[in-house]
Amino acid sequence: MIKRYSTKEMEWVWSELNRFSKMLEVELAVLRAQEELGIVPRGTYEILKRRLYVDEGVLRKIKERERTFKHDVLSFVSVLEEMGGEEGKYIHFGLTSSDVLDTALALQLVEGLNLLLEELKEVLKLLKEKAFKYKETIMMGRTHGVHAEPITFGLKLLSWYWELRRCEGRLKVAREVASYGKISSAVGTYSNVPPEVEERALKILGLKREGVSTQIVPRDRHAFLILNLSLLGSSLERFALEIRHLQRTEVLEVLEPFTEGQRGSSAMPHKKNPILSERICGLSRLLRSYSIPAMENVALWHERDISHSSVERVIFPDAFILSHYLLKLFKFILEGMRVNEDRMRENFKFSKNLFFSSKLLLKLIERGYSRDEAYDLVQRVALKTWEEGRDFLEEVKREGLLDEKTLKELTLESFLKNKDQIFNRFRGRCFLFKEIPLEKLRGAFLLEEVSLEGLRGEEILCGDEELLREVEEKLKVKVKLYKREISLEPEDQVLIYRGGRIFKVLMLT
């Protein structure tokens, strides 16, 4: 990825130095496992751990050797063997290149996803704060670009927040799906290295074992990850596209940051263009494009060919760096976003109160009209007022469709009487259970252990008095008795207590 759209943190994850460092981690983990199992002489691991490292100098040697070998892993192994002295011959003992490459790749993927999730967490925090800040800021809702019914800007932002929470859940699943390695020899049969080595080495590395591997870890795992990064980009594009629409001169309800000294056009000094939001839309197209080659990498010849390798050297760094950059850029827009509340109110006048048509439709049905009769009547009045430039409610009054008392009930606020119920779904309660309440959970979920320190300051609710006492006694955590029926909302946390440990249920949909 070009520097213009890169971040230093994610560039490091996909740097050659980090890649070969991860490959060394894999080689050393295998050596440690082999030594524990008596496959290589005792003391080999500690000797090579002291002697082997990867820095810029080592990297240059690998590149020099690759010019002759035309094989980066063999070049890497050759340089390490040279650095390892007599014991260096045990480097890569019984392995095939993809044992090292795919397992190291899994480490990079997890590291990259952790970075993305950290950034996404900050964006989510900011979005939620903004949503509640603008909870009461009334604006016109639009469908097909046309005025529909009133909403609040806070509700719009809350929609963005919940969509990114879903993205967060999918990325956490993708992290689980991607965190698989393999140390299973040339075609996955453990012909030169026993399964026990794989099991121990992957445990050292914090990875899981692929159930059935070929020469590689199957690429459906990697395609799933890239598809979820593409979805993240699509969501960010949706938000950016909305900001672009709202910044149009004839709307002018929301503006992205325009910093001191910034210029908008080489020809027109007055211009303040939404270039950051446009950039997000453009780069999201590029991010989505990586999903096609990622899926095409799934189908390889027999137990593996190498057609996926060249593709992955491009799409993994680019997709991760772009995703990280887009999150940072969107956060910058949110931080400096200018909300023109006066203009939001002013823009209602363009509708001439036509948005009350749905309310009138229901009132007429309640008065005895059939739905078709009421619809035709409301539509006739609406089209007439629109064409003649009149106010809709005044025309309704003129035609005697509603009495004065009922007309007074038609207010902007009447459209938003239930918004508090929507916002209350996101107050974030914390419930403690002994077993996973499957009947209360929606969709897929993951379990994640929580530290006691992470629970400090949380109000934990529990409907089981016996469980409440046990947790308070054993873990010294304060729990409050909750006697009402528990109905879980999107932002509620579900905690499970098992054998002195507490796990958080991560709801993903």
The set of catalytic residues is: 144, 265
Pairing mode, strands 138-143 and 146-152: antiparallel
In 10 A of CB 505, how many CB atoms? 21
C-alpha to C-alpha distance for 318 and 285, rounded to whole angstroms? 13
C-alpha to C-alpha distance for 272 and 258, rounded to whole angstroms? 7
DSSP-based three-state secondary structure for 481: strand
The packing angle between helices 97-133 and 16-36, to 10°, is: 120
Pick from 383, 387, 471, 389: nearest CA to 430: 471
Let me know: does 389 contact 395? Beta carbons within 8 Å: no
DSSP string, 344-364: HHHGGGGGTTGGGHHHHHHHH
* Token pair for 80: 């390490």
Q: N- to C-terminal Cα distance for the chain? A: 32
Number of helices (H) and strands (E) in the chain: give both, helices first: 19, 12
DSSP-based three-state secondary structure for 497: strand
C-alpha to C-alpha distance for 464 and 171, rounded to whole angstroms? 33
